[in-house]
Amino acid sequence: MTGKEPGALSVVHVVETCCGGVATFVAHMIQSQIDDPAFSEITLLHDQRATEAKLLDVAPHIATYESTRNPLHAIKIAWQVHQRLKAINPDVVILHSSFPGLWGRLFKGSWKTIYCPHGWSFSQDFFFLSRLAYKKIEAALSYRCDAIVSISHDEFRVGHDAGIPDSKHSVIRHGLLPSAPADEPVLPLDPQAINLAFVGRFERQKGLDILYDIFKDPRLDYITVWLVGEDIRGVKQYVLPARPNLRHLGWRNTAQVDKILSQVDAMIMPSRSEGFGLAAIEAMRNRKAVIASRVGGLGELIIDGVNGRLIDINNIAACRTILTELNKPDLEKMGNSAFEIFEREFRWDVCYRKWRQLILRVENS
């Protein structure tokens, strides 16, 4: 560990259901802060029932709380989180995602508080009244923290329209470390088929049901989709159709996902909403094109026909047409462009430098 500077800051990262892209981001952040002389004690405060192992492996200090998404218990959980934070007494608390953002701001402590929603709850596919309620809550709680970070320009715009004050609000797009070279194949691929990877939680937001609907078309039988992910918090939303070109791999760690991406021809992301879409840049750093819905941050990451294809998930026929036009040479060309964009815009050092500047500025304000 690098020698620490005088006055180095202690930081707590608060997470709840933390897996996939958010877990990757938080793990990168913790490791960078461990190695950074500007920071001292780094703690992960989490619900141990719903945290990915890679976070527990990297965090030097760990504290726990028990969460539930029952709104009747929100005050109780918020008080529990507050008491845990009070015992640690950090300089800075970073709240990752909506529920930690709620619990960590209901009771204010002496520490500085930064909130990153990783995708606004009110921009997701909920009923109108639910979205309206989430907007009101987020706008009210925005005055109970010191800074708010959106992970795409689209998310910033959505937050601005919901009443999030620009004075506290900034954009820091996610980044990733370079991937390790793949050593050996992990998938039994048919070299004649086009192979796509879906990586994400099996929930409505990620559009797995849309993907199933698209691939009902027998014209797409020559495309194999490798599904990496599982249901969240034990809630089963989808039953995998019995079709030979849809192959379920379950959860895989980051290194395994990289190996899978290094083998396939492209990634597919039929999401209903995405604040950013970290899986997309995981594909890009592996020289893979991304076929993604034109929503949220994905519309910023993917340039149609350059590093992937943008699809309209409300027009299944059009989605199928785009997929029938896929071929390996075009996907390889777009994959190379995707890697160039990743190297230029989405390397982790670029992202971390902006986060570091924000944290130091907040602490000194």
Q: Domain for residue 109, yes or no?
A: yes
Name the maximum alpha-carbon separation found in the chain: 65
pLDDT at 1: 47
Task: State the 10-residue block means of pLDDT for the chain, 365 residues long.
Answer: 76 86 90 96 89 82 90 92 97 96 94 95 72 90 96 93 96 89 80 93 88 94 93 64 85 87 96 89 96 92 96 96 97 98 95 97 93
C-alpha torsion 134→136→141→143, nearest 10? 150
Separation between Cα atoms, residue 159 and residue 138, nearest integer Å: 9
Q: Are residues 159 and 236 in the same domain?
A: no
How far is residue 145 CA from its own chain's centroid? 22
Q: Domain for residue 360, yes or no?
A: yes
Look up residue 74 and give its amino acid: A
Q: Domain for residue 1, yes or no?
A: no
Domain that holds residue 356: 9-176+347-364
| Strand intervals (E) in the chain | 9-14, 39-46, 61-64, 92-96, 112-116, 147-150, 169-171, 194-199, 223-228, 246-250, 266-269, 289-293, 308-311
Q: Domain for residue 4, yes or no?
A: no
Q: Are residues 157 and 261 in the same domain?
A: no
Q: Are residues 269 and 208 in the same domain?
A: yes
Q: Are residues 296 and 358 in the same domain?
A: no
CA distances from 42 to 112, 265, 311 (A): 15, 39, 41
Q: Are residues 114 and 168 in the same domain?
A: yes
Query: Residues 252-258: contacts with CB within 8 Å, 24+ apart?
Result: 252/228, 253/53, 253/54, 254/24, 254/54, 255/180, 256/186, 257/199, 257/228, 257/282, 258/179, 258/180, 258/182, 258/282, 258/286
pLDDT at 14: 97
Separation between Cα atoms, residue 186 and residue 228, nearest integer Å: 13
Report the domain count for the chain: 2
Q: At what angle do helices 278-285 and 328-345 cross, to 10 degrees?
A: 110
How far is residue 209 CA from its own chain's centroid? 20
Separation between Cα atoms, residue 358 and residue 168, nearest integer Å: 11
Q: Are residues 27 and 149 in the same domain?
A: yes
Q: CB-based contacts of 161: which residues, under 8 Å, 6+ apart? A: none
> Would you say 113 and 104 are in contact if contact means Cβ atoms under 8 Å apart?
yes
Q: Are residues 271 and 131 in the same domain?
A: no
> Tokens representing 308?
């992937």
Q: Domain for residue 258, yes or no?
A: yes
Look up residue 179 and give its amino acid: S
Q: Are residues 209 and 160 in the same domain?
A: no
Compute the radius of gyration of the chain from its Cα atoms: 20
Q: Are residues 198 and 165 in the same domain?
A: no
Secondary structure (DSSP) of 348-365: HHHHHHHHHHHHHHHHH-
Q: Domain for residue 185, yes or no?
A: no
Q: Are residues 211 and 338 in the same domain?
A: yes
Q: Are residues 42 and 123 in the same domain?
A: yes
Q: What three-state secondary structure class fits 44?
A: strand
Q: Domain for residue 186, yes or no?
A: no
CA distances from 350 to 68, 180, 278, 355, 357 (A): 35, 19, 15, 9, 11
Secondary structure (DSSP) of 289-342: EEEEES-TTHHHH--BTTTEEEE-TT-HHHHHHHHHT--HHHHHHHHHHHHHHH
Q: Domain for residue 189, yes or no?
A: no
- CATH number of the domain residue 215 falls in: 3.40.50.2000
Dihedral angle sign, alpha carbons of residues 291, 295, 298, 304: positive
Q: Are residues 260 and 282 in the same domain?
A: yes
